[in-house]
Amino acid sequence: MLTTINPPTPRRRRSVLLLGAVGVTALLAAALPELTAAGEAVVQAAASPATIDIDNFAFAPATLTVTAGTSVTWKNEDDSPHRIGDKNGTFTSAALDTDDTFSHTFSAPGEYPYICTIHPYMVGKIVVKPAGKLSSN
Ligand SMILES: [Cu+2]
């Protein structure tokens, strides 16, 4: 399932589910002017900054799906410090104080589960889809 950056409205969520792989293609075709109404909903989600808020000791969204080459930014909205750590060791942030951010560009498709290394019960995952494979080129 495609997880949008912002909590989707029920209508948008249904559109994404119905679109399936077509919706993912629509994400990649964001520059094309001819889009269905459902496609526009997906593109709006894709156009939002790929940002994960850290709030109340949780990552929001907990699972974020992006295409390869996307830079994802975490922002700490908590009063407590948090430190992002990929379980496979491919990216690690410094300790983030309130309002600090950390960004990582995901070049390789795959799944990247991560935790807060200070609070290991805080878990999240980035799912990176291969942009080239889904392209119509
Ligand atoms: Cu933490």
Q: What is the pLDDT of residues 61-85, one digit of tens each?
A: 999 999 999 999 999 999 999 999 9
**pLDDT tens profile 11-56:** 444 444 444 444 444 444 443 434 444 443 333 345 446 999 999 9
Q: How far is the CA of 65 from the centre of ligand 1 (A)?
A: 22
Residues forming beta bridges with residue 75, ordered by sequence position: 53, 101
Q: How far is the CA of 81 from the centre of ligand 1 (A)?
A: 6
Please tell me the least confidently modeled range out of 17-31, 79-93, 96-110: 17-31
Q: How far is the CA of 25 from the centre of ligand 1 (A)?
A: 35
Measured CA to CA, the distance from residue 115 to residue 54 in angstroms comes to 11
Is the pLDDT at 132 greater than 60? The verdict is yes
Q: How far is the CA of 14 from the centre of ligand 1 (A)?
A: 32
Percent of the chain with pLDDT over 90: 56
Q: How far is the CA of 104 from the centre of ligand 1 (A)?
A: 18
Q: How far is the CA of 23 from the centre of ligand 1 (A)?
A: 33
Q: How far is the CA of 116 from the centre of ligand 1 (A)?
A: 5
Is the pLDDT at 8 greater than 50? The verdict is no
Q: How far is the CA of 118 from the centre of ligand 1 (A)?
A: 5
Kindly give the pairing relationship between strand 58-60 and strand 70-76. unpaired
CA distances from 94 to 29, 35, 74, 83, 113 (A): 35, 41, 12, 6, 17
Higher pLDDT, 25 or 87: 87
pLDDT of residue 49: 60
CA distances from 39 to 23, 35, 43, 49 (A): 7, 6, 6, 18
Residues 6+ apart with CB under 8 A from 42: 2, 12, 15, 16, 19, 23, 26, 27
Kindly give the pairing relationship between strand 70-76 and strand 101-106. antiparallel
Is the pLDDT at 10 greater than 50? The verdict is no
Chain mean position to CA 102:
14
Q: How far is the CA of 6 from the centre of ligand 1 (A)?
A: 21
Q: How far is the CA of 35 from the centre of ligand 1 (A)?
A: 40
